[in-house]
Structure formats: C-alpha cells, structure tokens
Structure 1
Amino acid sequence: MSYANQTQTLNISAEQQYQGLLERVLFSTLIGMPCCVFLLINGIMLFTLRSKAVFRETCRYILLYNLLFSDTVLLALSQLMYILATCRIFPTYPVCGVLTMLNRLTNEISPLTLVVMCLERYVAVCYPLRHATIITVRNTAVAIIVVWAFSSLNVLIRVLLLLNFPFDQLQSLQMTDVCSDIAMLLGPMSYIYDKAYTGFVFVSAGVAVTCTYVGVMVAARSASADKASAHKARKTVLLHLIQLVLTLLSTMHGPIIISLSTILQRLLIVRIKSVLYVFIYILPRCLSSLIYGLRDQTIRPVLMYYLCCRLKLSRLHKG
C-alpha cells in the first residue's frame, strides 16, 4: 500500500513538472514571438529615422529616435531577463545588477522623453511663431542629454544603495532566485527610495502631460489657432498620455508584484507577472512605432518601403 501511494505521488509530481514545463514553453512562445516581431519593427523604424536628412534634422523625429532607441533596448533586455527566468538560469548578483540597472535606465528614459515630446507639441500649437527659435536641434540635444543624465543619476543612487548591502556575509554571490528588479531591492533603503522615486516620476510626468493636453485644447478653441494643426496635436498628445500611463505602470510593476506575493501563491504570481509583462512592458514599447509609423505622413511611406522591400525583391526575383 505504501509502495502504491509512493508511486502515485511520483506520478503526480512528474505530471505537475510536465505541466509546468509545457506552460513555460507556451508562455515563452506566446510572449517571445510578438516581442521579436516588434523588435524587428522598432529596428526598421530606427533605421528609417536615420535614412533621410529630414528625419535627422527635425526635432520631433530626433526625440522619437531617442524614445524608440530606449524602448528597443529595454525590450531586448526585458526579453533576455524573461528567457533567463523561464529557463531557470540564476546569474550572479553582479551580472543581475548590471542587467537590472540597464533595464532601469532605459525604462526611465521613455516617460521623460514623452514629456519632452508633449512639450514640443505644446510649443508648436500655442507659440507657433516662436517654435522655430525655441525648439531647435541644439535645444533638443540638450533636452535629451538632461533626460539621460537624470535617469543615470537615478541608477547611480541605486548602485550606491546596493553597495551598502553586506555581500561579504553571503556564502556565494550566486543568486538563488530569478533575476529581476525586485530581487535587486536589497535592504530597506532600496525599497524606500524605489517607492519615493517611482511616485515622484509618476506624479510629475502625469501632471506635465495632462497640463500640456489641457493647454493644447484651450489653444485649439481660440480663434487665432490653426484648427487642423491643433486638432492633430491634441490627438498626438492624447496618445502620448495613454502611452505614458502604460509606461509609468511598468514602474509600478515591482510594488504590485511585491504586494500580491504576500497573499497569492508563487505559481499564480508567475502567471500574473507574465501577463503584466505583456501589457505594461511589451505593449507600451510597441506603441511608438505604431503611432508614428501609421499616422505620420512623412514616416509612413519610407517605413512601408523598408518593411516591404524584401517582399518586393523576392517577387521580382521569382518573376
């Protein structure tokens, strides 16, 4: 009887392991395929924005390139970390620290760049006569440098907080869990700083973009405004506001998972993390290509040319 129970237990355990493996393969396939597709689209968009002088010398396209670059790097890093977690590969703390800090850096670039892009549209609608003197290539480059410097300062502070952790008291630098942002929140000060900085960015960026949207709406109703330009700017800022909300939700990813981990089982937490990864990491990083690639009359024909180039070449070769 004992042998039968032991055999039944082993069969159940093997079946659970098989189901877990099958679930990981299924999730990896469903998440990895769209991620690779949008990495390709973002790569083509980046190449498109460097292919013509009009894109390299127009401020809003320079800002778009910066946004796409950070989103593409973040998407690639997030997918790499997801693959490591799915394959149960546990790196060392230094390796995980480098990955998470690069992830943090590129993650902070997106909301700050979106704020600058919304301010550029606000100036274009509310101060059209001064737009060319305010929004210059030089000023745009300065704004991008400030965005990267501010995000780098945040990463530097996080690194300094990590250095206070007593790593020398650990038996090994090898991690015993998957590499993630949560795993690198070592010590109470890291938790406090993460919450404070996340709240500051969330509130500041949200208020800035909301005020910009309201300002564009007010300007659009004035008699002296260019109605077509103002209407287009209002739709663009609204899309950026939605994109900003989704992007800022990714900064809330860690606190959400930490809160849920206290009341839910680990397997359910893993499934929720996979779903959140799709909606708050992959989706916002794909919206820029879709918004500008499909709506912008200057980018669309060039982007479609590069997207369909191989298809046309293959048809010509067959013909």
Structure 2
Amino acid sequence: MANVTDGLLYQPREEMMVFTIVSVGSCCTFFYINCVLLFTLRSRPVFYETSRYILLFNLLLADTAQLTLSKILYLLAVCRIRLTLYLCGVLVMISVFMAPISPLTLMVMSLERYVAVCFPLRHAEIVTIRNTAIAVKVIWAFSLVNILIRVFILLSLKHDILPSRPMRDFCSKEALLLVPMSYHYDKAYSGFVFISVGMTIILSYIGVMLVARSASTDKASAIKAGKTLLLHLIQLGLILISTVYSVILTLFASTADRILLVRLYSIFFVIFQIMPRCLSVLIYGLRDQTIRPVLMSYLRCLGCLRTFS
C-alpha cells in the first residue's frame, strides 16, 4: 500500500462521517441478514436438495461477496488509501468475477419458474439437481473466462505495467481500464449479459402471464411466479445501473463541483450497489413460505444470543 492522506480534504469531516456511517451501517445490516439466510439454506435437506433453493444460494453467495468487495473499495476511497496496482487489480478482478454471476443466476431462476408454471408435468424431469449443478458450473465458468480475457487484453496491449507501482487515484474498475480495448470489451460484455438476461426474464414473464390467463392452470401459482419474475427484472435493472453509475457521475463531473460528486457517489453507492445485493432476502427470504419461518427463527435466536452475551 501507499500512503494514506488525512482524509477527504474537499469534504467536511462531519458530512463524510454521516455518509460513511449510513453506508457502512446499512451494508453491515444486510451482510448479517444475507449470512443468516446463507446458513439457513444449508440447514435443512429441503433447501440443498431443491433446485430453486440451490440457485438462490448461488445468487446470495455472489451478492454477499459483491457487497463485501464493494464496501471494501468504498472505504478505501473514503479513507484515500492508495493501493499498489497489483493489490488493486486482485480486488477489482475478484469483484468483476463475481459481478455477472448474479444476473446469470437470475436468468436461470426465471427459466426455472417458467418451466414450473408452463410445463408443470415436465418440471421434475427438466429441473433436476444434476441439471441445476451443471447450470451453476456454467455460470461460474463463464465468469472465469471473462476474467481471463480481460487479463489477456491488459497484458498483451499494456507492456509498461508496473504491479508494485502505487496508483495515482483510489482503486476502482475504471482505474484498471488502461487500454481502449479493455473499455470497449467491458461495455460489450456488460451489454451482452444484461440484454440476454433481460430478454430471458421478460419472455419468461410473458409466458407465465399467458398461462395465468388459461382456465386450466393454477392461477394463484402463476400470478405469484409472475410477481417473482417482475421483482427479478427490477433487481436486474438496479444491478445494471450499479455497473454504469460511474458513467452517470462522469456526466455530472462537467457541471458539478467535487463536493457534490462525492455526495452523489455516496448516495449512488447505497442505492445502486447495496440495494440490488439485498433484494434476494426480500424476494425469497420473506416471501417464500418454506424459508421465512426458518429464517425468522434463526434471526430471533441469534438476536437473543447477542442480547445475553
């Protein structure tokens, strides 16, 4: 690591503390709940032997890891800690590796709901534990290939990289887009992932709603699945915004002063980085009749243990 400055000199200390406390507090709260839900999904056989709960675990694991890495990078920026290029590269590459896992898992979860509603008689045949495990492995492999391509582009086109050199600014994904090809690849990859996932969720929702209109189907189940797909679409939209909010800040940079940009960065971080990674608890943890009682019992038990400790 390089030197640590005395803080954000261009932002009042009290204001910086308020923003930091709010973001850290909300992040830690949802991190705690996410961890309890992860534990819940490994506490009963019904959870680790059912495809949709396996997919939920994968989604929640990626969201929790992404939430943690985002918080680390945010605190490094707030404290004005400049890392070496190598250390920053490791943190950013792990973050970039985890980022597409959430939308891709949302896509598979949407397809699972589509099959459950539109092909109920074949659901047990199509959505098996084996097929779910294959889908999860493909998602992680797809993310790994993305990282390898990014590293190859960077190393092949940027020959003057000094990994031990301290960075000039705080660590971020944008700081590692050192060649134009990296920038273009990043935009093309993000666009491909989110357009593909978005279209899959939308088409799944249309299929489910068409089935819900049929008199020969369980309307309540179909409508509930449609609401879940809509929530997936909202979550995907927030995740998409979280990948491009730095571009939004860049647009403000031409007209806004630095203090306003810091305020916007803090607000955007809470809304677009923390919130999308916490919706899984609301969509499944509280709405699912199987998970909710187990999750609430663990939260109450852990709360009692903390009270009497």
Q: TM-score, normalised by structure 1?
A: 0.89
Q: CA deviation at 1:251?
A: 2.0
Residue 177 (str. 1) matches residue 169 (str. 2): yes
Between stretches 195-204 and 111-120, larger displacement belongs to 195-204
| Aligned pairs for 1:67-216 within 5 A | 67-166=59-158, 168=160, 173-216=165-208
- Match for residue 305 of structure 1? 297
Q: CA deviation at 1:176?
A: 1.3
Question: 1:12-47, CA deviations, whole angstroms, 9 ceiling, x for partnerless residues?
Answer: xx9x94853222211110100010010000000000
Q: Secondary structure at the match of 2:166?
A: coil
Cα distance in 2 for residues equivalent to 1:147 and 1:310: 33
Question: 1:230-286, CA deviations, whole angstroms, 9 ceiling, x for partnerless residues?
Answer: 111111111111111111212223433344334433332222221111111100111
Q: CA deviation at 1:169?
A: 6.6
2:49 aligned to 29, 33, 57, which one?
57
Q: CA deviation at 1:166?
A: 3.8
Contact 1:257 1:269 (8 Å CA) reproduced: yes
1:235 aligned to 212, 227, 230, which one?
227
Q: CA deviation at 1:291?
A: 1.6
The structure whose residues are more often helix, as a share, is 1
Question: 1:160-192, CA deviations, whole angstroms, 9 ceiling, x for partnerless residues?
Answer: 122135463769611010001111111111111
Cα distance in 2 for residues equivalent to 1:266 and 1:162: 30
Amino acid at match of 1:41: I
1:274 aligned to 263, 266, 269, which one?
266
Between stretches 137-146 and 200-209, larger displacement belongs to 200-209
Q: CA deviation at 1:156?
A: 1.4
Structure 1: runs of 5 or more not aligned: 1-13
Amino acid at match of 1:121: R
Cα distance in 2 for residues equivalent to 1:166 and 1:314: 51
- Match for residue 8 of structure 1? none
Q: CA deviation at 1:313?
A: 5.4
Cα distance in 1 for residues equivalent to 2:15 and 2:294: 40
Q: CA deviation at 1:152?
A: 1.3
Cα distance in 2 for residues equivalent to 1:204 and 1:268: 35
Structure possessing the higher radius of gyration over alpha carbons: 1
Cα distance in 2 for residues equivalent to 1:52 and 1:29: 36
Between stretches 99-108 and 17-26, larger displacement belongs to 17-26
- Match for residue 16 of structure 2? 24
Identity percentage of aligned residues: 56
Cα distance in 1 for residues equivalent to 2:36 and 2:77: 28
Contact 1:46 1:65 (8 Å CA) reproduced: yes
Q: Does the C-alpha gap of structure 1 residues 94 and 113 become closer, same or farther in structure 2, counting only changes over 3 Å?
A: same
Q: Does the C-alpha gap of structure 1 residues 190 and 169 become closer, same or farther in structure 2, counting only changes over 3 Å?
A: closer
Question: 1:42-86, CA deviations, whole angstroms, 9 ceiling, x for partnerless residues?
Answer: 000000000000000000000000000000000011111111111
Cα distance in 1 for residues equivalent to 2:186 and 2:117: 36
Between stretches 92-101 and 165-174, larger displacement belongs to 165-174
- Match for residue 219 of structure 1? 211
What is the aligned length? 303
Between stretches 33-42 and 143-152, larger displacement belongs to 143-152
Q: Secondary structure at the match of 2:76?
A: helix
Contact 2:55 2:132 (8 Å CA) reproduced: yes
